[in-house]
Amino acid sequence: MKIKEPEFRCGGNWQELADLFGYEIDKHDQDWTYTIVESDRIEEYIQTYNTKITNEDTKFSLMEMIIQSLAEQEDKKLMEEKWKLVKPILNKDFDLHEYTIYYWCCWDNDNIEDCWEVTPLIREFWIKKKSKRSYNIM
């Protein structure tokens, strides 16, 4: 499936997240939001996103952490349960997180079995969100 890639976006303001969650940032760590996560803290990350963060760059980076945590859940059932908490945030802040959602859809790979376990959920979300937006434009 050929999907138009949204404009690239990256986060920032990692120090705020490091301070909130008690993490350190190595000066050479370019993938910090993906490597630092603890999947069992996903609900804490979600609660923090919903109640303590107002800066868009910080929200963007925290969502990277949330989705990475989602991908690292111990089994598919738990991942699907946590997805129910993440999906409303992505729905509400879709424009902010469009590039991250696109990234996790793994559109460059037609073999869904060769993607992350969370990819089918995120692809379904993307397709529904985009089709609803197309419908609303007409």
Instruction: Check residues 133 and 136 and name the one with the higher pLDDT.
Output: 133
- The pTM of the full predicted model, rounded to 2 decimals, is 0.91
- The predicted-structure confidence for 100-126, as pLDDT tens digits, reads as follows 999 999 999 999 999 999 999 999 999
**What's the whole-number mean pLDDT along residues 7-29?**
90
**Separation between Cα atoms, residue 127 and residue 75, nearest integer Å:** 24
